[in-house]
Structure 1
Amino acid sequence: MDVVFIEDLRIETVIGIYDWERKIRQTVAFDIEMAFDNAVPAASDAIADTLDYKAVAKRLIAFVESSHFELVETLAERCAQILREEFGVPWLRLKLSKPGAVTGSRAVGVIIERGVWPDGAGR
């Protein structure tokens, strides 16, 4: 099994628990790894056979920009659900960072894994 990835996808959204955070848009950044068998698209050279990372990014951008969650944990979970249900991703690792959220750090956030690696061997 192979991996399709999106690195440092930055999206502006309303995220946070504090009153002042509910009134502004902040940037969140995604690093996503998704299990996918790339043998078929490699043989056909057809976009229709791929896990189209542009389509994935556009769907996540639309969702995240319109969301208003308090916790990065909730946002990460909802994005993972979209990837699994709408794009048929059997396994994913999603890192969601909130840059500048803690003084002295570049970013804070969560990393979640959902699903089962298709060959059962794990990653």
Structure 2
Amino acid sequence: MKIATKDRVLIEGLTVSTTIGVYDWEKNIKQQLVLDLEMAWNNQPAGNSDDVALCLDYFKVSQAITNLVAANKFELIECVAERVAELVIQQFAVTWLRVKVSKPSAITNATNVAVVIERSMHN
């Protein structure tokens, strides 16, 4: 019997320093972005076997995202979210994910600004 799953793997609070912003002064400094990801992944095979090879390797996902974001310059957090979604879907075969990109320093009288996107693999 095959059991339907709606399993998720989460990465929360992944902080990356990058060049981000539309203003001239932002184009020459590093700012912190905070990323939260929710990724669809069938955890049942790993859970039943206790075999790490069957897991979504959240360490490798985090490293790949950090490398992508830190190595590039962006104007918009929307662009960061799209690039991260593309990377995770293509490199790790995740079929669906939700990406939240926060820029806590964007507005001085707000705790945070963020965008959230959901993307899925095209079959």
Q: After TM superposition, is the score higher than 0.5?
A: yes
User: Which segments of 5 or more consecutive residues in structure 2 lack a partner in the other structure?
Assistant: 1-5
- What amino acid does structure 2 have at the position aligned with 1:60? I
SS at the partner of 1:106?
coil
Per-residue Cα deviation, 1:55-107 (whole angstroms, up to 9, x for no partner): 10010011111010111111110000001111011110110000121121111
In the alignment, is residue 78 of structure 1 matched against residue 109 of structure 2? no
TM-score by length of 2: 0.91
1:20, distance to aligned residue in structure 2 (A) = 0.6
1:71 alignment partner AA: L
Identity %: 44
Matched residue type, 1:4: V
Secondary structure of 1:37 counterpart:
coil
**Which of 28, 41, 45 matches 2:46?**
41
* 1:115 positional shift: 1.1
**For 2:63 and 2:106, how far apart are their aligned partners in 1?**
25
Question: What is the aligned counterpart of 2:30 among 25, 42, 61?
Answer: 25
* Deviation of 1:45 (Å): 1.1
Q: In the alignment, what sits opposite 1:109?
A: 114
For the pair 1:88 / 2:115, whether they are aligned, the reply is no
Partner Cα separation in structure 2 for residue 104 and residue 89 of structure 1:
37
- Taking structure 1 as the reference length, what is the TM-score of the superposition? 0.91
The CA deviation string for residues 9-41 of structure 1, in whole angstroms up to 9 with x for no partner, is 000000000111000000000010000110000
Report the CA distance between 1:109 and its aligned residue. Answer: 1.7
CA distance in 2, matches of 1:66, 1:97: 18
Q: Give every structure 1 segment of 4 or more consecutive aligned residues whose post-TM-superposition deviation is greater than 4 Å.
A: none
Cα distance in 2, alignment partners of residues 44 and 16 from structure 1: 45
